[in-house]
Structure 1
Amino acid sequence: MPAMRALERRARSPISLEHTTKYRRRLGSRDVTDRSNKSFPEGRGPASSLSSRWDGRLDPEQKSWCEANGVPLAYDPMQIGWVIADKEAVCPNAVPSAPLSWKAKPTRLLDFRRWQSDDLPAFRQLLGDPQVWRYMHEDWPGEMTETLARDLIEISALGDHHDVLAFTLDGAPIGQMRLAFGADPSSADTAELSYWLGRAHWGRGLGRDLVRRATQRAFADHDWLYRLVAFVHPDNPASERCLRAAGYHDRGHRDDGWSCFVTYRDS
């Protein structure tokens, strides 16, 4: 345990080459900054300087100069390099390293909600792409006119045979999930999950988020639901990977070549 605590202390602070107290005793009252006018490798003068370890790490020539002139150094694991240990010591012509960035990546806010009339422009743009329809059960309807888009949004909210939700990123729709009830007449506790994602959002990991969250939402909203099935176009391996990542299992193929995937509540 003492050894572990020692390692933790070393990880939290730079590793001094020379104890500052000993260094000050040897130099007496002299200020080490007086040494900054000594010749520097390759004739570089004290045009700029570093006075603390947070000003940046030293290059090999600067490190050698500091060692030769009694400037205490420390190895800083955070900056991955040698730095000035004493804030009163100055290394001439040292160039500050790039500042460390502690900014966290922005969090993507993903959610589901009902389609709204205000979504009409986004709906037309997303489903106006024939490549999105390529992997759907339905055929490409042609131009996504305003009338057609409005009709599809209205249909999504009608009837109790399905549950349709827009998939949103930071409040803006980028895709859709749909639960079709009665998919298997022999199993009243089964629904079919289908989904699509706008092509501008492919290849960003959002497909996996969509399937995983849609599965969780389906079981959360419908407590009677026990099994979900999903069918995948034979030329859409990316969708198969999304389903497997969400816990679905391959159950073979239909006669038309579409793959069948199944998952269960609490599986």
Structure 2
Amino acid sequence: MSDQDDTILRDRFDGVLDAHELAAARASGKALAYCPLQQGWVHHAEGEDDTAPPLSWQVGTLPLHKQITGTPVHARPQTLTLRVWVEDDLAIYRALMSDPDLWTFMLEDPPAAPDDEMARALIALSTEGTHHKVRVASIGGQPVGQVRLEYGSRPETAELSYWMGAAHRCKGLGRQMVLRFLDRLAVRKPHITRITARVHPTNAASKRLLLACGFQPCDRATLDLAPRGRDRGDWEGFVFTR
């Protein structure tokens, strides 16, 4: 047998035939088969085991990460979920709302020492009001912040506001909360195509968050953002459109 025949008759999983080898094999009437695993033509011997491993499996065993139940190879970040406030959140809701730093950049004035009844009323308002949508951001079931959308005078408009508990700030959770809320809103209320937000002039963290979530600075007059609450017309306007 010639050297050329030795090349043509090599095992099918030693690699596909090149153009010269393929032409020679066809000219000599050799049995050929197309191997989808190697994506090329190979010699096919009668009775050959088609289940033999492809060439790429013959380069040795590749090390794999050991999978252990409950312990992923790459640690996942804390999973943030959105839900409504519930009665069981009463104690932590009061604790979050009692933090004076929380109100530094809020439109509303802080309540005077919120008790259970006030906290319960605010929770009820957040879940029952038809003029807005309120969701609590939670990690492991524990509330860490809130995002709120107040519906505008026109069906396609709304205004966004949010806050994050002191222990959970500067961890990227606020951005994660707003992005997840916007994604859900796009599916459930696609008719809302313009969302505004207002930010205290010195609240640099909130400005960065909005920019990271796709909001853009915009003139207040263009946004029709009238003064309200602690905003006397000096807060900065942002808009998100889709």
TM-score when normalising by structure 1 = 0.58
Matched, 1:117 2:87: yes
AA aligned to 1:156 is S
1:214 is matched with 181
Query: Match for 2:157 among 180, 190, 207?
Result: 190
1:244 is matched with 211
CA distance in 1, matches of 2:93, 2:157: 28
Q: Is the deviation greater in 239-248 or in 144-153?
A: 144-153
Alignment deviations for residues 156-199 of structure 1 (CA, whole Å, 9 cap, x no partner): 122311111111112211111111012xx3x4300111111101
Alignment deviations for residues 74-107 of structure 1 (CA, whole Å, 9 cap, x no partner): xxxxxxxxxxxxxxxxxxxxxxxxxxxx952243
Matched, 1:264 2:234: no
CA distance in 2, matches of 1:135, 1:158: 25
Contact 1:175 1:197 survives alignment (8 Å)? yes
5+ long unaligned stretches in structure 1: 1-8, 14-101
CA RMSD of aligned residues (A): 2.9
Contact 1:109 1:171 survives alignment (8 Å)? no
CA distance in 1, matches of 2:113, 2:91: 14
Alignment deviations for residues 22-46 of structure 1 (CA, whole Å, 9 cap, x no partner): xxxxxxxxxxxxxxxxxxxxxxxxx
2:24 is matched with none
Alignment deviations for residues 210-243 of structure 1 (CA, whole Å, 9 cap, x no partner): 2211222222221221111111111211011011
AA aligned to 2:84 is R
Contact 1:177 1:194 survives alignment (8 Å)? yes
Q: Report the 3-state secondary structure (helix = DSSP H, G, I; strand = E; otherwise coil) of the residue aligned with 1:234.
A: coil
AA aligned to 1:258 is W
Query: Match for 1:127 among 97, 102, 114?
Result: 97
TM-superposed deviation, 1:115: 0.6
Aligned residues: 173
Q: Report the 3-state secondary structure (helix = DSSP H, G, I; strand = E; otherwise coil) of the residue aligned with 2:163.
A: strand
Q: Report the 3-state secondary structure (helix = DSSP H, G, I; strand = E; otherwise coil) of the residue aligned with 1:157.
A: helix
CA distance in 2, matches of 1:219, 1:143: 37
CA distance in 2, matches of 1:128, 1:198: 10
2:123 is matched with 153
AA aligned to 1:195 is Y
Q: How many percent of aligned residue pairs carry the same amino acid? A: 39
CA distance in 2, matches of 1:122, 1:204: 20
TM-score when normalising by structure 2 = 0.64
